Amino acid sequence: MILARLRYPYGICMTETPEDEDTSTYLTGSLLIAMPQMRDDRFTRSVVYVCAHTSDGAMGLIINKTVESVSFPELLDQLNIDSGATNREIRVHFGGPVETGRGFVLHSADYVQDATLVIDDSVALTATVDILKSIADGDGPNKSILALGYAGWAPGQLDQEIQANGWLSVPADNDLVFGIDPDTKWEKAMGKIGIDFNMLSGDAGHA
């Protein structure tokens, strides 16, 4: 697994959005819920947290699919990090199909490094090995998800997929992002916005 200084696909960077750029349609900090008719098997019944969405593209992490082939203690051992100080149970997630050997930690904003992307007042993203050391030492963020790989979209691609009824975008719920069983997040995400997914049709848009 590679945790290095965070870099984004499609030119997305940790700089402020230009003042003259219309951000009203951007989904940074939102959740994407895969619609039942999602055609890409890699995203079937997925819930994605959008870490960045600009005119340069979008980047997010799937937060409801786990990796069973490796555990958090095993990853720490691979990185020569002592896991003896932590008793937290952290499940390793499949963050997306891009760069699946690359690690990302989505976490509460009570932990910030120089390389951390602060997404909003409560959520941040870090991709350095230092955060894993902090978690192992018991000094890391209060809430966190470790993901391998990410989901990336070229400029305009995510908007097209939403219009094609591939995704439903909804405001993020931190309890949903960090606090429940990954295996039930898709159903709970649908349920929290009062949608019976069996009744969804071809109308794309936002909840």
Q: How far apart are CA 143 and CA 129, in angstroms?
A: 17
Q: How far apart are CA 57 and CA 187, in angstroms?
A: 27
Examine the pLDDT at 40 and tell me if it is beyond 50: yes
Q: CATH number for 28-206: choose from 3.40.1740.10, 3.30.930.10, 3.30.470.20, 3.40.50.720.
A: 3.40.1740.10
Does residue 207 surpass a pLDDT of 60? Answer: no
Domain ranges for the chain:
28-206
What is the model's pLDDT at position 196? 66
- pLDDT in the model for residue 198: 61
Of 96, 38, 108, 103, the C-alpha closest to 70 is: 103
Tell me what pLDDT residue 87 has: 65
Average pLDDT over residues 170-197: 85
Q: Is the pLDDT of residue 184 over 80?
A: yes
The residue among 191 and 86 whose pLDDT is bigger is: 191
Question: pLDDT tens for residues 67-78?
Answer: 988 888 888 888
Strand partners of residue 92: 146
The DSSP 8-state label assigned to residue 140 in this structure reads: S
